Structure 1
């Protein structure tokens, strides 16, 4: 049975994609393509249901195989798994976003990209599993009870504004609930929350942002942090006729206001509750602050603290006495990454090392030049802007590729780029240690 033919609207349950060798599942006679629909009478809607229900010594599986449904009884150790992998972590369907935020990145994508990129998800299960930010809009009491019963903590919540009317306007959702009430309910039941606010000039800055910070800081330590990020706009946005990205002056004004609250909180608690995205400092043409402003760097995935962590890690791990690389290295990066290398990294390197390195700043023509992060680089832009023979070897950050395969957002593969450049491309995880290994392995 081919798992991709199963209609998840009709048949819920986990579709087995593979079985571990000599596993309990194999001993029970389970096969690839079988659908585990229930454990101990509980319907499985996702991997979380499976993990929770499998943690028993006596289990009864209900399994569907093609048109047949049958049950299997099993005695096992409390923490023993079946030894199966499913084709997806969600067994029903992804929870679609009920909001219509004008600044949503989905609305700013060009046409004819991968279909999966156009999915607007707002699924608390993906928030727990992968750190996706969700708005909590549209959650039912069943969902909250599941979050609490399974202790799905921490969750990552897009607040944007705590003022109810402002938030409803930002989300374009007149039914959005009071977010402070919802977060408070989660905290009271033992769920920790990380929050974010995407700041749109003229909409949720100034007094509205001040209220957001004041309201959320009262919920500390249940709310662990508030990440504050500038709105990003691509050349394809059509819903935001009057919105612009932050000017230098606007970015500096916003940073000054946030840092006033941040400094007070650090003095009182030794913790920077409000954390400002690196991109804000770059827009303001200001240096990024010290590591004390980022706590333990919990918000790296949201573009907060990455530059400071990279620079500090580079300082700790770089040895200027190392033998110079034998080959020239081209570092492929976006505008923000190029700024970091040119401002903080290259100036402190041994000249014999530095002369082997070229920072290849890629202008984002695909999404528009206001998009400056390396995570949105596409292969076609690199193809057009980097000439063959530029370097003996190239370094590429992994965050611009699909998580499970070396393919860019525009579906160009890294192997295609290697053929064009006539040289190896080394894919690196973000971080100074990997960068140094990439340089000195050349």
Structure 2
């Protein structure tokens, strides 16, 4: 859980461990089901609060309770059985922690969860994220760990697709990046049930970038006279750079993309959504010369506000870097709209 890995001094709301099944139903928050009362379960069943998003991690009670840091947590299989019996659909995640729930335990957990199909509609295997502020010692997912996990996922994946026409179990994008292997085809992600969990996000972005190619001719010729700047986390940088290179080569549109290292939470955290304003300012401080506008992806902003994880605002970045800043939707179309707005 990232809450227990955050440094001190951030806004209070970031330290709240949200285990509310209502937020799971409404917003896709992952819950462990360890705090459900009889009344909660009755309400879920009566009101058909479906789907729910559940952090399982392991169906081995001892291992799961160790990972949750909660020795009194109940048997998750009993909770899943109750939800299945009441026709509640579930999207579940297994946060992969080497030495705990990998290898045979991962196979066991996937098999157990598949027993609840189709009510367990999707299973995502996501590598554990470890910040430099974590107190509990957990080994990070390395390349070898990622490849072993992907082999297991692929074996189930093929079996499920053959039997049901859908993959059911998916590896997070970060596993493929860590393993240095190609992503599955976008079609194999189905309806992208766990896109917000980083499952299929890269393939979707790359597909969208190809689809908007025909729209580029309608953009203002003034764009070729502009120079834009944007940034991303370390893991997504090669993919976004490929797109901006193609824009420059084929359309003469200049967008300089900068990879930003996360020094606030630690270099092991490579996703864009957990970057802070201070890291963005540090990384771009000598990159703004001649640039007309900085595009800030909305994934790093607090929802509904222009504030980042460390409470740095869009205006703070603008003042620190001396450049116009525009928040954009984190999609290829968002980049296009950002450019159009500047021109």
> Cα gap change, 1:207/1:188 in structure 2, threshold over 3 Å: closer, same or farther?
same
Q: Tell me the equivalent position of 1:198.
A: 95
**Residue 229 (structure 2) pairs with residue 330 (structure 1):** yes
Q: Tell me the equivalent position of 1:394.
A: 294
Q: Tell me the equivalent position of 1:233.
A: 130
Q: Tell me the equivalent position of 2:19.
A: 122
Tell me the alpha carbon deviations over residues 46-69 of structure 1, each in whole angstroms, 9 at most, x when there is no partner: xxxxxxxxxxxxxxxxxxxxxxxx
Q: Tell me the equivalent position of 1:437.
A: 337
- Please tell me the root mean square deviation across aligned C-alpha atoms, in Å: 1.7
Q: Tell me the equivalent position of 1:409.
A: 309
Q: Tell me the equivalent position of 1:148.
A: 45
Q: Which moved more, 1:381-390 or 1:414-423?
A: 381-390
Q: Tell me the equivalent position of 2:3.
A: 106
- For residues 440 and 138 of structure 1, the distance between their equivalents in structure 2, rounded to whole angstroms, comes to 49
Q: Tell me the equivalent position of 1:135.
A: 32
Unaligned runs of 5+ in 1: 1-103
- The 8 Å contact of residues 95 and 128 in structure 2, kept in 1 or not, is answered as yes
- Equivalenced residue count is 336
- The 8 Å contact of residues 325 and 441 in structure 1, kept in 2 or not, is answered as no
- The 8 Å contact of residues 19 and 35 in structure 2, kept in 1 or not, is answered as no
- For residues 28 and 91 of structure 2, the distance between their equivalents in structure 1, rounded to whole angstroms, comes to 9
Q: 1:423: Cα distance to partner? A: 2.3
Q: Tell me the equivalent position of 2:146.
A: 251
Provide the secondary structure at the position in 2 that maps to 1:391. coil
Unaligned runs of 5+ in 2: none
- The 8 Å contact of residues 166 and 204 in structure 1, kept in 2 or not, is answered as yes
Q: 1:352: Cα distance to partner? A: 5.2
Q: 1:172: Cα distance to partner? A: 2.2
- For residues 219 and 287 of structure 1, the distance between their equivalents in structure 2, rounded to whole angstroms, comes to 29
Tell me the alpha carbon deviations over residues 206-261 of structure 1, each in whole angstroms, 9 at most, x when there is no partner: 11110111111121111110011000011111221xx2211112211111111111
Q: Tell me the equivalent position of 1:314.
A: 209
TM-score w.r.t. length of structure 2: 0.93
More helix by share: 2
- The 8 Å contact of residues 248 and 255 in structure 2, kept in 1 or not, is answered as no
TM-score w.r.t. length of structure 1: 0.73
- For residues 224 and 154 of structure 1, the distance between their equivalents in structure 2, rounded to whole angstroms, comes to 9
Q: Specify the structure having the higher radius of gyration (Cα).
A: 1
* Structure possessing the higher relative contact order (Cα contacts under 8 Å, 6 or more residues apart): 2
> Cα gap change, 1:354/1:245 in structure 2, threshold over 3 Å: closer, same or farther?
farther
**Residue 168 (structure 2) pairs with residue 276 (structure 1):** no
Q: 1:326: Cα distance to partner? A: 3.1
> Cα gap change, 1:373/1:390 in structure 2, threshold over 3 Å: closer, same or farther?
farther
Q: Tell me the equivalent position of 1:173.
A: 70
Q: Tell me the equivalent position of 2:272.
A: 374
- For residues 355 and 275 of structure 1, the distance between their equivalents in structure 2, rounded to whole angstroms, comes to 36
